[in-house]
Amino acid sequence: GENVEQHPSTLSVQEGDSAVIKCTYSDSASNYFPWYKQELGKRPQLIIDIRSNVGEKKDQRIAVTLNKTAKHFSLHITETQPEDSAVYFCAALFTNFGNEKLTFGTGTRLTIIP
Amino acid sequence: EADIYQTPRYLVIGTGKKITLECSQTMGHDKMYWYQQDPGMELHLIHYSYGVNSTEKGDLSSESTVSRIRTEHFPLTLESARPSHTSQYLCASSELGAGGYTFGSGTRLTVV
């Protein structure tokens, strides 16, 4: 079945440094890869996504890269700030007999050290 | 404002009680989902629906049931709550073909 692996499970980064979270997926037909940020006590929120027809997408300090051949994608946060502390989830869209749903990674708890 | 709403936000109930967690969305999305999540941990899909009168079980076995009689409404029912049901329940919705989900704020359930 579909599978998304996410690493690392926890990550501590000094404020101002960069953070990278990596995910791999199993279904080569997947074509949509969103990232969600969940702050303590709040709902997961979409922060950036990428479709399979591009290799990289940026939005200010956040970027996502996709390597379809290797079936992996990564989230890059530059110039980290305390408000970046949260749990981050990657996901991949799988299609089964015309029905599509996201499979989520297991999450990365990112802590920014002031 | 178009959004997805869950009630109640917090619920403490006794073992054996029947409860229904409400989820409504005003975005006109066809697809809706229920996830179980211990705080900050993995998201486990327990039910989903692709439209009215469509419901499917998710990846995580659950003793709950769902119904989808109206597009905007996707309630989850536990017939007999147990302490093992203590968790956070997140509802989400998405548009067919669009991919991204919008999550509700969740219901934090405690069964004593």
Please list the pLDDT of chain B residue by residue as tens digits (112 residues).
789 999 999 999 999 999 999 999 999 999 999 999 998 899 999 999 999 999 999 888 778 999 999 999 999 999 999 999 999 999 999 987 667 899 999 999 999 9
Kindly report the backbone phi and psi dihedral angles of residue A96, in degrees, each rounded to the nearest multiple of 5, phi listed first: -130, 110
pLDDT at A29: 87
Query: Sign of the CA dihedral B96, A48, A28, A31?
Result: positive
Q: Of B31, B36, B42, which to mutate for an interface test with A (greatest number of A Cβ within 10 Å)?
A: B42
Q: Whole-angstrom Cα distance, residue B66 to residue A33?
A: 27
When CB atoms are compared, the residue of A51, A93, A99 closest to B50 is A99
pLDDT in tens, A34-70: 999 999 999 999 999 999 888 999 999 999 999 999 9
Closest CA–CA distance from residue B92 to any residue of chain A (Å): 10
Which residues fall within 8 angstroms of residue A24, CB to CB, at 6 or more apart? A4, A5, A70, A71, A72
CA separation for the pair A102, A33 (Å, rounded): 9
Q: For residues B80-99, b (16+ Cβ closer than 10 Å) or e, as one string?
A: ebeeebebbbbbbbbeeeeb
Residue A46 to residues A41, B9, B99, Cα–Cα distance (Å): 16, 21, 11
CA distance B74 to B46: 13
* Nearest chain A CA: its distance from B33 CA (Å): 9
Q: What is the pLDDT of residues A8-37, one digit of tens each?
A: 999 999 999 999 999 999 988 898 999 999
Determine whether the interchain pair B40/A99 forms a contact, defined as Cβ–Cβ distance below 8 Å: no
Give the residue with greater pLDDT, B28 vs A110. A110
Give me the pLDDT at residue A1, please: 63
**For B70, which DSSP code?**
B
- Given an 8 Å threshold on Cβ–Cβ distance, is A32 in contact with B101? no
Measured distance CA(B102)–CA(B105) in Å, rounded:
10
Cβ contact, residue pair A100, B97, below 8 Å: yes
Q: Which of B48, B99, B105 sits opposite A49 (nearest CB)?
A: B99
How many angstroms separate the CA atoms of B97 and A103, rounded?
15
Cβ contacts of B34 on chain A, cutoff 8 Å: none
Q: Which residue of B has its CA nearest to A101?
A: B99
What pLDDT is recorded for position A2?
A: 81
